[in-house]
Structure 1
Amino acid sequence: MTYLPLLGILLVVVGFALRLNPMLVVTASAIVTGLLGGMDLIEVISIFGKAFNDNRIIAIVWIVLPVIGLLERFGLQQRAATLIRGFRKASVGKLLVLYLLYRQVTAAIGLHSTAGHPQTVRPLVAPMALAAAEKQHGELEEETSEKVKAYAAATDNVGLFFGEDIFFAIGSIVLIQQTLVTYGYNLAPLQLAVWAIPTAILAFLIHGFRLLLLDRKLARTHRPLPPVAEAAEVSE
């Protein structure tokens, strides 16, 4: 048994720590893992191609993008922002915690495609988060706006990543099961899914705390709008 293929994991960790492009890091890591595992370059590339071809659902993106474009063209983001401004106690952290809960629960029961970056984060969640921040703190500078958008995107990632493993009929669970079988641990997918629940709960608590902490950071760096100004902004 050789442990050289595990260097691919180290490559992922180093690449993410250096903030390199995630897609390039993961692709390079997969190629290195395949080569260290005894495959030649052509065999590794052919496996990539087969996986891409087997997951034909990826073609759905070409249907989703025009739909999202049309919705944005006719004011979806503006309507989402107007809606959230109508809630007096709405804040970025509270809004994203609710979205995190929704994303984790739906992913846990297999509804992975009900949300995501193109269909919910860009047209709905990010504009609503920005509107909540501007409602409380006024117009935001570009750096703060980008940070709010980044938290919205990260919330989707965390909710999906830690929620989907609770659904036992998913590729990642099958991959873990087959890997454990090679080492003599024969576990059912349901057993693996059950033990993913504590991790999902901890992920929700940790990221939820970070989101509420974002509210406090915004409150420290941006003075809240006075009631008169807030009322005028809502009426506009």
Structure 2
Amino acid sequence: MLSLIGVVVIVVGLALRLNALLVVLVAGFCSGLVAGMTPTEILEALGHAFTQNRAVSLFIITLPVIGLLERNGLRDQAERLVQKFRAASAGRITLSYLVLRKLTNAFGLQLGGHPAMIRPLIAPMSVGAAERDLSSAAIASPRFHSLSQRIRVLNAVSENFGNFFSQLIFVASGGLLLIKSVLDKSDASVSLADMALYAIPTALISLLVMFVMCRRLDRNIRREQRLLREEYPDLSYEGGVKESADSGSDTHSISVRESQS
């Protein structure tokens, strides 16, 4: 039972919302001490595991780059760009990204991800499309905040659908090779091409499901936009119309006076 002390430490530490890295390190030390390892041997094992799997942490390099781009207005520029295209909607943007994600995965290109594409580009563009023709008060309202969160959720779902349900189409993908090795150990001879072929229907079904979800999202956005325009009218626009109308009436009165003189 003492050999499971590391699992208990992880469960308790995460339940108390402590620092995840510190919890894992403490759990590793507890498991190593129970197994009879010295602190030096535990540190050596941790260092060896890190160096063997250091490629997994390469995504950390992209985080400061994305942070710098966002700090310099990447998200704002994405919103302004999409608002210039009247036909662009949150659902169409999300579906287009899903199609791109599936095509790149089919050729083994890992172009995408939540930190690299969804947060800095796809989500701001989708929310920017929903903000079109809305007043600043409507955009700052709790109703639109809730709508923007639903849009971001569907953006994240599109990334998961695009990656998970299409990565096995590529014959040299890591998941497909893992399945191949397991089947070979079980004396089940299946070629990589056949397994990739069987992954295509799953990718198409996930695309169809996301198409329906994007259509529903666009309908919900149009309904919410109508309610927001009624609840938060664009007063600046109305003021401009009223001002122009007043100026027109003033011009008309001046012309009448001149004609009478």
Please list every run of 5 or more consecutive structure 1 residues that lacks an aligned counterpart in the other structure: 1-23, 25-40
Q: Quick one: which of 160, 164, 167 aligns to 1:164?
A: 167
TM-score, normalised via structure 1 length: 0.70
Alpha-carbon distance in structure 2 between the residues aligned to 1:100 and 1:189: 24
TM-score, normalised via structure 2 length: 0.63
- Distance change >3 Å, CA 105–CA 68, structure 1 → 2: same
What is the aligned partner in structure 2 of residue 189 from structure 1?
Answer: 192
What is the aligned partner in structure 2 of residue 180 from structure 1?
Answer: 183
What is the aligned partner in structure 2 of residue 3 from structure 1?
Answer: none
Q: Does 1:126 align with 2:123?
A: yes
- Distance change >3 Å, CA 120–CA 173, structure 1 → 2: same
Q: Does 1:208 align with 2:211?
A: yes
Q: Which amino acid aligns with 1:177?
A: K
What is the aligned partner in structure 2 of residue 87 from structure 1?
Answer: 85
Q: Does 1:99 align with 2:90?
A: no
Q: Which amino acid aligns with 2:94?
A: L
- Distance change >3 Å, CA 74–CA 159, structure 1 → 2: same
Alpha-carbon distance in structure 1 between the residues aligned to 2:199 and 2:133: 37
- Distance change >3 Å, CA 73–CA 108, structure 1 → 2: same
Q: Which amino acid aligns with 2:99?
A: L
Alpha-carbon distance in structure 2 between the residues aligned to 1:160 and 1:123: 18
CA-based RMSD: 3.0
Please list every run of 5 or more consecutive structure 2 residues that lacks an aligned counterpart in the other structure: 1-19, 21-33, 36-44, 238-261
Alpha-carbon distance in structure 2 between the residues aligned to 1:48 and 1:111: 31
- Distance change >3 Å, CA 206–CA 51, structure 1 → 2: farther
Alpha-carbon distance in structure 2 between the residues aligned to 1:146 and 1:211: 14
Alpha-carbon distance in structure 1 between the residues aligned to 2:148 and 2:175: 34
Alpha-carbon distance in structure 2 between the residues aligned to 1:161 and 1:202: 13
Shift of 1:60: 2.0
- Distance change >3 Å, CA 50–CA 199, structure 1 → 2: farther
> Residues 166-193 of structure 1: CA distance to partner in whole angstroms, max 9, x if unpaired?
0111121012222333443211112111
Number of residue-to-residue matches in the alignment: 187
Which of the pair has more CA radius of gyration? 2
